[in-house]
Protein backbone atom coordinates (compact mmCIF):
# COMPACT_ATOMS: atom_id res chain seq x y z
CA UNK A 1 0.00 0.00 0.00
CA UNK A 2 1.31 3.46 -0.84
CA UNK A 3 1.96 5.69 2.17
CA UNK A 4 0.25 9.04 2.36
CA UNK A 5 0.35 11.91 4.78
CA UNK A 6 -2.94 10.63 6.24
CA UNK A 7 -1.54 7.13 6.89
CA UNK A 8 2.21 7.48 7.31
CA UNK A 9 4.56 4.55 7.69
CA UNK A 10 5.82 4.83 11.25
CA UNK A 11 9.54 4.69 11.91
CA UNK A 12 11.32 3.28 14.93
CA UNK A 13 14.29 4.20 17.05
CA UNK A 14 16.89 2.78 14.62
CA UNK A 15 15.78 5.19 11.88
CA UNK A 16 15.77 8.17 14.25
CA UNK A 17 19.14 7.06 15.60
CA UNK A 18 20.53 6.90 12.07
CA UNK A 19 19.32 10.43 11.32
CA UNK A 20 20.84 11.67 14.57
CA UNK A 21 24.16 9.94 13.92
CA UNK A 22 24.22 11.40 10.42
CA UNK A 23 23.67 14.86 11.89
CA UNK A 24 26.51 14.25 14.36
CA UNK A 25 28.89 13.26 11.54
CA UNK A 26 27.86 16.26 9.43
CA UNK A 27 28.41 18.67 12.31
CA UNK A 28 31.84 17.16 12.87
CA UNK A 29 32.86 17.52 9.22
CA UNK A 30 31.65 21.12 9.13
CA UNK A 31 33.64 22.12 12.22
CA UNK A 32 37.09 20.71 11.42
CA UNK A 33 38.21 23.64 9.25
CA UNK A 34 38.18 26.54 11.72
CA UNK A 35 40.77 25.25 14.25
CA UNK A 36 42.98 23.78 11.51
CA UNK A 37 42.85 26.74 9.12
CA UNK A 38 46.44 27.94 9.84
CA UNK A 39 47.69 24.37 9.34
CA UNK A 40 45.85 24.07 6.03
CA UNK A 41 47.28 27.38 4.84
CA UNK A 42 50.80 26.20 5.70
CA UNK A 43 50.39 22.80 4.04
CA UNK A 44 48.87 24.28 0.89
CA UNK A 45 51.33 27.16 0.72
CA UNK A 46 48.73 29.93 0.62
CA UNK A 47 48.72 33.36 2.25
CA UNK A 48 46.23 35.25 4.41
CA UNK A 49 44.32 36.59 1.40
CA UNK A 50 43.51 33.09 0.07
CA UNK A 51 43.01 31.45 3.48
CA UNK A 52 39.44 32.67 4.01
CA UNK A 53 38.36 30.86 0.84
CA UNK A 54 38.69 27.53 2.66
CA UNK A 55 36.45 28.75 5.44
CA UNK A 56 33.73 30.43 3.40
CA UNK A 57 33.34 28.16 0.37
CA UNK A 58 31.12 25.73 2.26
CA UNK A 59 29.02 28.67 3.47
CA UNK A 60 28.42 29.85 -0.08
CA UNK A 61 26.94 26.52 -1.13
CA UNK A 62 24.92 26.51 2.06
CA UNK A 63 23.44 29.91 1.24
CA UNK A 64 22.16 28.49 -2.04
CA UNK A 65 20.97 25.13 -0.69
CA UNK A 66 19.23 26.48 2.43
CA UNK A 67 16.29 28.24 0.70
CA UNK A 68 15.49 25.32 -1.62
CA UNK A 69 16.23 22.18 0.41
CA UNK A 70 12.74 22.02 1.91
CA UNK A 71 11.09 22.69 -1.47
CA UNK A 72 13.11 19.91 -3.08
CA UNK A 73 12.17 17.52 -0.28
CA UNK A 74 8.48 18.31 -0.56
CA UNK A 75 8.53 18.00 -4.35
CA UNK A 76 10.63 14.85 -4.78
CA UNK A 77 10.48 13.20 -1.35
CA UNK A 78 12.64 13.98 1.67
CA UNK A 79 14.47 10.65 1.74
CA UNK A 80 15.39 10.73 -1.95
CA UNK A 81 16.72 14.30 -1.82
CA UNK A 82 18.56 13.66 1.46
CA UNK A 83 20.41 10.70 -0.04
CA UNK A 84 21.34 12.73 -3.14
CA UNK A 85 22.68 15.59 -1.03
CA UNK A 86 24.59 13.23 1.25
CA UNK A 87 26.15 11.62 -1.82
CA UNK A 88 27.40 15.05 -2.86
CA UNK A 89 28.68 15.71 0.66
CA UNK A 90 30.49 12.36 0.70
CA UNK A 91 32.15 13.07 -2.66
CA UNK A 92 33.11 16.50 -1.39
CA UNK A 93 34.54 15.11 1.84
CA UNK A 94 36.67 12.61 -0.05
CA UNK A 95 37.88 15.31 -2.44
CA UNK A 96 38.85 17.46 0.54
CA UNK A 97 40.66 14.54 2.15
CA UNK A 98 42.65 13.80 -1.01
CA UNK A 99 43.17 17.41 -2.11
CA UNK A 100 46.78 18.09 -3.18
CA UNK A 101 46.16 21.80 -3.68
CA UNK A 102 43.78 24.65 -2.93
CA UNK A 103 41.49 24.37 -6.02
CA UNK A 104 40.70 20.70 -5.31
CA UNK A 105 40.08 21.45 -1.64
CA UNK A 106 37.74 24.29 -2.56
CA UNK A 107 35.82 22.00 -4.92
CA UNK A 108 35.43 19.54 -2.07
CA UNK A 109 34.17 22.30 0.20
CA UNK A 110 31.65 23.40 -2.42
CA UNK A 111 30.16 19.90 -2.51
CA UNK A 112 30.27 19.61 1.29
CA UNK A 113 28.07 22.69 1.49
CA UNK A 114 25.13 20.51 0.44
CA UNK A 115 25.05 19.34 4.08
CA UNK A 116 23.06 22.48 4.94
CA UNK A 117 20.01 20.75 3.48
CA UNK A 118 20.29 17.80 5.86
CA UNK A 119 18.45 19.33 8.81
CA UNK A 120 15.33 20.60 6.98
CA UNK A 121 15.10 17.31 5.10
CA UNK A 122 15.45 15.34 8.33
CA UNK A 123 12.65 17.41 9.82
CA UNK A 124 10.47 16.63 6.80
CA UNK A 125 11.04 12.92 7.32
CA UNK A 126 10.28 12.84 11.03
CA UNK A 127 7.21 15.04 10.52
CA UNK A 128 5.84 12.61 7.92
CA UNK A 129 6.59 9.42 9.83
CA UNK A 130 6.02 10.33 13.50
CA UNK A 131 3.07 11.67 15.50
CA UNK A 132 3.36 15.32 16.65
CA UNK A 133 4.63 14.61 20.17
CA UNK A 134 7.39 12.30 19.00
CA UNK A 135 8.23 14.65 16.12
CA UNK A 136 9.27 17.40 18.53
CA UNK A 137 11.53 15.01 20.42
CA UNK A 138 13.12 13.72 17.21
CA UNK A 139 13.70 17.24 15.86
CA UNK A 140 15.37 18.22 19.13
CA UNK A 141 17.55 15.10 19.04
CA UNK A 142 18.72 15.63 15.46
CA UNK A 143 19.37 19.34 16.01
CA UNK A 144 21.23 18.69 19.25
CA UNK A 145 23.44 16.02 17.70
CA UNK A 146 24.33 18.32 14.78
CA UNK A 147 25.41 20.96 17.30
CA UNK A 148 27.27 18.32 19.29
CA UNK A 149 29.07 17.33 16.13
CA UNK A 150 30.47 20.85 15.99
CA UNK A 151 32.03 20.33 19.40
CA UNK A 152 33.45 16.97 18.33
CA UNK A 153 34.92 18.45 15.15
CA UNK A 154 36.51 21.30 17.06
CA UNK A 155 38.20 18.82 19.42
CA UNK A 156 39.37 16.13 17.01
CA UNK A 157 40.55 18.28 14.07
CA UNK A 158 43.91 19.15 15.60
CA UNK A 159 44.85 15.74 17.01
CA UNK A 160 43.93 13.96 13.77
CA UNK A 161 45.68 16.50 11.52
CA UNK A 162 48.83 16.49 13.65
CA UNK A 163 48.84 12.80 14.56
CA UNK A 164 47.88 11.42 11.15
CA UNK A 165 47.50 14.15 8.52
CA UNK A 166 45.10 16.85 7.36
CA UNK A 167 43.74 14.30 4.88
CA UNK A 168 42.32 12.08 7.63
CA UNK A 169 40.74 15.11 9.30
CA UNK A 170 38.23 15.16 6.43
CA UNK A 171 38.23 11.43 5.68
CA UNK A 172 37.13 10.09 9.07
CA UNK A 173 33.90 12.15 9.36
CA UNK A 174 33.19 11.48 5.68
CA UNK A 175 33.43 7.72 6.20
CA UNK A 176 30.95 8.08 9.08
CA UNK A 177 28.61 10.06 6.80
CA UNK A 178 28.75 7.38 4.10
CA UNK A 179 28.00 4.63 6.61
CA UNK A 180 25.10 6.44 8.27
CA UNK A 181 23.63 7.47 4.90
CA UNK A 182 23.50 3.80 3.92
CA UNK A 183 21.74 3.00 7.20
CA UNK A 184 19.23 5.81 6.64
CA UNK A 185 18.57 4.52 3.12
CA UNK A 186 17.77 1.04 4.49
CA UNK A 187 15.88 1.96 7.68
CA UNK A 188 13.89 5.00 6.55
CA UNK A 189 10.72 4.29 4.51
CA UNK A 190 10.13 6.21 1.31
CA UNK A 191 8.02 9.31 1.74
CA UNK A 192 5.67 10.36 -1.06
CA UNK A 193 6.31 13.75 -2.66
CA UNK A 194 3.76 16.43 -1.96
CA UNK A 195 1.72 17.87 -4.80
CA UNK A 196 2.85 21.39 -5.63
CA UNK A 197 2.16 23.81 -8.44
CA UNK A 198 5.16 26.02 -7.63
CA UNK A 199 8.34 25.53 -9.62
CA UNK A 200 11.88 25.50 -8.31
CA UNK A 201 13.61 28.73 -9.28
CA UNK A 202 16.63 27.05 -10.89
CA UNK A 203 17.69 30.18 -12.78
CA UNK A 204 17.73 32.09 -9.50
CA UNK A 205 19.78 29.31 -7.89
CA UNK A 206 22.35 29.43 -10.68
CA UNK A 207 22.58 33.22 -10.70
CA UNK A 208 22.92 33.47 -6.92
CA UNK A 209 25.64 30.80 -6.96
CA UNK A 210 27.56 32.64 -9.68
CA UNK A 211 27.12 35.97 -7.90
CA UNK A 212 28.45 34.71 -4.58
CA UNK A 213 31.39 32.89 -6.17
CA UNK A 214 32.27 35.91 -8.31
CA UNK A 215 31.97 38.20 -5.29
CA UNK A 216 34.34 36.15 -3.15
CA UNK A 217 36.88 35.39 -5.89
CA UNK A 218 36.73 38.95 -7.15
CA UNK A 219 37.29 40.35 -3.69
CA UNK A 220 40.24 38.01 -3.18
CA UNK A 221 41.81 39.05 -6.48
CA UNK A 222 41.31 42.77 -5.85
CA UNK A 223 42.45 42.59 -2.23
CA UNK A 224 45.58 40.67 -3.23
CA UNK A 225 46.70 43.69 -5.25
CA UNK A 226 48.69 43.78 -8.44
CA UNK A 227 45.68 43.94 -10.76
CA UNK A 228 45.60 46.69 -13.40
CA UNK A 229 42.79 49.24 -12.87
CA UNK A 230 40.94 48.01 -15.96
CA UNK A 231 40.91 44.43 -14.67
CA UNK A 232 39.73 45.59 -11.25
CA UNK A 233 36.95 47.55 -12.92
CA UNK A 234 35.98 44.53 -15.00
CA UNK A 235 35.73 42.39 -11.87
CA UNK A 236 33.46 44.93 -10.20
CA UNK A 237 31.27 45.25 -13.30
CA UNK A 238 31.03 41.46 -13.63
CA UNK A 239 29.88 40.98 -10.03
CA UNK A 240 27.40 43.85 -10.36
CA UNK A 241 26.00 42.39 -13.60
CA UNK A 242 25.45 38.95 -12.02
CA UNK A 243 23.85 40.47 -8.93
CA UNK A 244 21.59 42.64 -11.07
CA UNK A 245 20.56 39.64 -13.17
CA UNK A 246 19.68 37.68 -10.03
CA UNK A 247 17.61 40.56 -8.67
CA UNK A 248 15.72 40.91 -11.97
CA UNK A 249 14.96 37.18 -12.07
CA UNK A 250 13.82 37.04 -8.44
CA UNK A 251 11.44 39.95 -9.00
CA UNK A 252 9.81 38.39 -12.06
CA UNK A 253 9.50 34.64 -11.49
CA UNK A 254 6.22 33.38 -9.94
CA UNK A 255 7.96 31.38 -7.19
CA UNK A 256 11.30 33.10 -6.49
CA UNK A 257 14.09 31.45 -4.57
CA UNK A 258 14.19 34.56 -2.37
CA UNK A 259 11.32 37.04 -2.60
CA UNK A 260 13.20 40.35 -2.71
CA UNK A 261 9.96 42.34 -2.72
CA UNK A 262 9.83 41.80 1.04
CA UNK A 263 12.87 44.07 1.39
CA UNK A 264 10.57 47.03 0.85
CA UNK A 265 9.24 46.57 4.39
CA UNK A 266 11.28 48.62 6.91
CA UNK A 267 11.34 45.75 9.42
CA UNK A 268 12.76 43.43 6.76
CA UNK A 269 15.48 45.57 5.27
CA UNK A 270 16.59 46.92 8.65
CA UNK A 271 16.88 43.33 9.93
CA UNK A 272 18.97 42.44 6.89
CA UNK A 273 21.25 45.45 7.50
CA UNK A 274 21.74 44.47 11.15
CA UNK A 275 22.42 40.88 10.13
CA UNK A 276 24.92 41.94 7.46
CA UNK A 277 26.88 44.30 9.73
CA UNK A 278 27.05 41.88 12.66
CA UNK A 279 28.00 39.03 10.33
CA UNK A 280 30.80 41.13 8.81
CA UNK A 281 32.30 41.69 12.25
CA UNK A 282 31.81 38.06 13.22
CA UNK A 283 33.38 36.78 9.99
CA UNK A 284 36.45 38.94 10.61
CA UNK A 285 36.73 37.59 14.15
CA UNK A 286 36.39 33.95 13.13
CA UNK A 287 39.34 34.38 10.77
CA UNK A 288 41.57 36.68 12.83
CA UNK A 289 41.58 34.80 16.15
CA UNK A 290 43.00 31.46 14.87
CA UNK A 291 45.56 33.37 12.78
CA UNK A 292 46.75 35.29 15.84
CA UNK A 293 46.86 32.17 18.00
CA UNK A 294 48.95 30.29 15.44
CA UNK A 295 51.48 33.10 14.85
CA UNK A 296 54.97 32.18 16.18
CA UNK A 297 55.66 33.30 19.73
CA UNK A 298 58.69 35.35 18.73
CA UNK A 299 57.10 38.76 19.01
CA UNK A 300 53.35 38.88 19.59
CA UNK A 301 51.96 35.42 18.69
CA UNK A 302 51.27 32.28 20.72
CA UNK A 303 52.54 29.48 18.45
CA UNK A 304 49.37 27.46 19.09
CA UNK A 305 48.96 24.17 17.25
CA UNK A 306 45.70 23.07 15.64
CA UNK A 307 44.98 20.99 18.75
CA UNK A 308 45.59 24.00 20.97
CA UNK A 309 43.42 26.21 18.80
CA UNK A 310 40.57 23.69 18.93
CA UNK A 311 40.70 23.62 22.73
CA UNK A 312 40.96 27.40 22.99
CA UNK A 313 37.97 27.88 20.65
CA UNK A 314 35.87 25.27 22.45
CA UNK A 315 34.38 27.79 24.94
CA UNK A 316 33.18 29.89 21.98
CA UNK A 317 31.47 26.85 20.45
CA UNK A 318 29.84 25.97 23.77
CA UNK A 319 28.75 29.59 24.17
CA UNK A 320 27.04 29.41 20.79
CA UNK A 321 25.19 26.26 21.85
CA UNK A 322 24.06 27.86 25.11
CA UNK A 323 22.94 30.94 23.22
CA UNK A 324 20.64 28.83 21.10
CA UNK A 325 18.87 27.49 24.18
CA UNK A 326 18.19 30.83 25.85
CA UNK A 327 17.83 33.25 22.91
CA UNK A 328 14.16 32.48 22.35
CA UNK A 329 13.36 32.86 26.05
CA UNK A 330 15.23 36.17 26.23
CA UNK A 331 13.55 37.50 23.08
CA UNK A 332 10.11 36.63 24.45
CA UNK A 333 10.79 38.20 27.84
CA UNK A 334 12.69 41.34 26.84
CA UNK A 335 11.68 41.75 23.13
CA UNK A 336 13.88 40.80 20.15
CA UNK A 337 15.01 44.41 19.68
CA UNK A 338 16.36 44.61 23.25
CA UNK A 339 18.25 41.32 22.85
CA UNK A 340 19.73 42.42 19.52
CA UNK A 341 20.81 45.77 20.97
CA UNK A 342 22.59 44.15 23.91
CA UNK A 343 24.19 41.59 21.59
CA UNK A 344 25.49 44.26 19.21
CA UNK A 345 26.89 46.35 22.08
CA UNK A 346 28.59 43.33 23.66
CA UNK A 347 30.09 42.23 20.32
CA UNK A 348 31.38 45.69 19.44
CA UNK A 349 32.82 46.18 22.94
CA UNK A 350 34.61 42.82 22.84
CA UNK A 351 36.10 43.54 19.42
CA UNK A 352 37.28 47.03 20.33
CA UNK A 353 38.78 45.62 23.53
CA UNK A 354 40.64 43.00 21.48
CA UNK A 355 42.10 45.78 19.34
CA UNK A 356 44.02 47.06 22.37
CA UNK A 357 44.31 43.87 24.46
CA UNK A 358 45.40 40.70 22.67
CA UNK A 359 48.68 39.81 24.35
CA UNK A 360 47.36 36.86 26.39
CA UNK A 361 45.48 33.76 25.32
CA UNK A 362 42.79 34.22 27.97
CA UNK A 363 41.88 37.57 26.40
CA UNK A 364 41.30 35.93 23.03
CA UNK A 365 39.39 33.00 24.55
CA UNK A 366 37.06 35.17 26.65
CA UNK A 367 36.44 37.69 23.86
CA UNK A 368 35.81 35.00 21.25
CA UNK A 369 33.37 33.20 23.57
CA UNK A 370 31.54 36.46 24.35
CA UNK A 371 31.34 37.32 20.65
CA UNK A 372 30.11 33.84 19.75
CA UNK A 373 27.41 34.03 22.42
CA UNK A 374 26.30 37.58 21.60
CA UNK A 375 26.19 37.03 17.83
CA UNK A 376 24.28 33.75 18.18
CA UNK A 377 21.72 35.27 20.55
CA UNK A 378 21.30 38.27 18.26
CA UNK A 379 20.89 36.09 15.15
CA UNK A 380 18.16 33.99 16.78
CA UNK A 381 16.45 37.10 18.13
CA UNK A 382 16.50 38.60 14.64
CA UNK A 383 14.82 35.47 13.28
CA UNK A 384 12.25 35.56 16.07
CA UNK A 385 11.61 39.25 15.54
CA UNK A 386 11.14 39.05 11.79
CA UNK A 387 8.94 35.96 12.16
CA UNK A 388 6.45 38.09 14.13
CA UNK A 389 6.87 41.20 11.98
CA UNK A 390 5.75 39.60 8.70
CA UNK A 391 2.66 37.66 7.68
CA UNK A 392 2.62 34.00 8.70
CA UNK A 393 2.80 32.80 5.10
CA UNK A 394 5.94 34.91 4.54
CA UNK A 395 7.91 33.57 7.51
CA UNK A 396 9.95 31.10 5.44
CA UNK A 397 10.82 33.74 2.84
CA UNK A 398 11.82 36.30 5.48
CA UNK A 399 14.01 33.92 7.45
CA UNK A 400 15.58 32.69 4.20
CA UNK A 401 16.59 36.26 3.38
CA UNK A 402 18.27 36.60 6.76
CA UNK A 403 20.12 33.30 6.31
CA UNK A 404 21.50 34.36 2.91
CA UNK A 405 22.45 37.78 4.30
CA UNK A 406 24.26 36.20 7.24
CA UNK A 407 26.30 33.90 5.00
CA UNK A 408 27.26 36.76 2.67
CA UNK A 409 28.30 38.88 5.66
CA UNK A 410 30.48 36.18 7.21
CA UNK A 411 32.09 35.43 3.84
CA UNK A 412 32.92 39.06 3.09
CA UNK A 413 34.08 39.65 6.68
CA UNK A 414 36.57 36.79 6.49
CA UNK A 415 37.84 38.12 3.15
CA UNK A 416 38.27 41.62 4.59
CA UNK A 417 40.27 40.21 7.49
CA UNK A 418 42.48 38.20 5.13
CA UNK A 419 43.07 41.27 2.96
CA UNK A 420 44.11 43.33 6.01
CA UNK A 421 46.64 40.70 7.06
CA UNK A 422 47.94 40.30 3.50
CA UNK A 423 48.47 44.06 3.16
CA UNK A 424 50.69 44.23 6.24
CA UNK A 425 53.01 41.26 5.86
CA UNK A 426 56.57 41.88 7.06
CA UNK A 427 58.93 40.87 4.20
CA UNK A 428 61.59 39.78 6.70
CA UNK A 429 59.40 37.29 8.59
CA UNK A 430 56.71 36.71 5.94
CA UNK A 431 54.15 37.20 8.71
CA UNK A 432 51.57 39.96 9.25
CA UNK A 433 52.57 42.78 11.57
CA UNK A 434 50.80 42.97 14.91
CA UNK A 435 49.23 46.25 13.76
CA UNK A 436 47.28 44.27 11.15
CA UNK A 437 45.42 42.40 13.90
CA UNK A 438 44.85 45.62 15.83
CA UNK A 439 43.40 47.25 12.72
CA UNK A 440 41.28 44.18 11.91
CA UNK A 441 39.69 43.96 15.35
CA UNK A 442 39.08 47.72 15.44
CA UNK A 443 37.40 47.73 12.02
CA UNK A 444 35.26 44.73 13.00
CA UNK A 445 34.20 46.54 16.18
CA UNK A 446 33.26 49.73 14.33
CA UNK A 447 31.28 47.78 11.70
CA UNK A 448 29.36 45.95 14.42
CA UNK A 449 28.67 49.18 16.30
CA UNK A 450 27.13 50.64 13.13
CA UNK A 451 24.44 47.95 13.32
CA UNK A 452 22.96 49.83 16.29
CA UNK A 453 21.82 52.54 13.86
CA UNK A 454 19.78 49.97 11.96
CA UNK A 455 18.37 48.58 15.22
CA UNK A 456 16.77 51.98 15.84
CA UNK A 457 14.98 51.71 12.49
CA UNK A 458 13.72 48.23 13.38
CA UNK A 459 11.49 49.69 16.09
CA UNK A 460 9.91 52.10 13.61
CA UNK A 461 9.38 49.25 11.11
CA UNK A 462 7.73 47.10 13.75
CA UNK A 463 5.35 49.92 14.71
CA UNK A 464 4.49 50.52 11.05
Instruction: Give per-residue pLDDT as tens, 30-65.
Output: 888 888 888 888 888 887 777 777 877 887 788 778
* 3-state SS class at 431: strand
User: Can you tell me the distance from the alpha carbon of 177 to that of 20, in angstroms, rounded to the nearest whole number?
Assistant: 11
State residue 348's pLDDT score.
93
User: Can you tell me the distance from the alpha carbon of 77 to that of 413, in angstroms, rounded to the nearest whole number?
Assistant: 36
State residue 7's pLDDT score.
45
Which is more confident, 3 or 122? 122
Question: pLDDT band at 396, cuts 50/70/90?
Answer: low
Q: Which of 10-19, 241-250, 418-427, 431-440 has the lowest mean pLDDT?
A: 10-19
Q: What is the model's pTM?
A: 0.77
Sign of the torsion formed by the C-alpha atoms of 358, 361, 362 and 366? positive
User: Can you tell me the distance from the alpha carbon of 199 to that of 189, in angstroms, rounded to the nearest whole number?
Assistant: 26
Does residue 461 register a pLDDT over 60? no
User: Can you tell me the distance from the alpha carbon of 153 to that of 161, in angstroms, rounded to the nearest whole number?
Assistant: 12
Q: What is the mean pLDDT of residues 331-351?
A: 86
DSSP state of 426: E
State residue 3's pLDDT score.
42
Does residue 303 register a pLDDT over 90? no
State residue 193's pLDDT score.
67
Q: What is the mean pLDDT of residues 274-301?
A: 87
Q: Which of 78-87, 216-225, 279-288 has the lowest mean pLDDT?
A: 216-225
Does residue 87 register a pLDDT over 80? yes
- Nearest alpha carbon to residue 411 among 249, 280, 277: 280
Question: pLDDT band at 133, cuts 50/70/90?
Answer: low
Amino acid sequence: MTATLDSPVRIGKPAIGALGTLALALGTLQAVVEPSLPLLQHDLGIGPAEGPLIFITLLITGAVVAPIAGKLGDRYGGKRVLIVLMTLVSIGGMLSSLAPNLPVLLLGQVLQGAMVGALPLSFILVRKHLPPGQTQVAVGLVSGLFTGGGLVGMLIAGPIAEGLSRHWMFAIPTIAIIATTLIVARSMPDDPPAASDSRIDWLGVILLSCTLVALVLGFTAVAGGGLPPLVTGAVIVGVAALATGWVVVERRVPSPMVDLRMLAAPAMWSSCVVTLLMSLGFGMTVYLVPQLLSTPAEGYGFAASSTDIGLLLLPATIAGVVAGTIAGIAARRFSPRAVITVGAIATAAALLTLASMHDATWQLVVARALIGFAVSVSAIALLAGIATAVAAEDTGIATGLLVVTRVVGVAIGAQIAGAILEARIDPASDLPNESAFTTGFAIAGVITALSLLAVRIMKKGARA
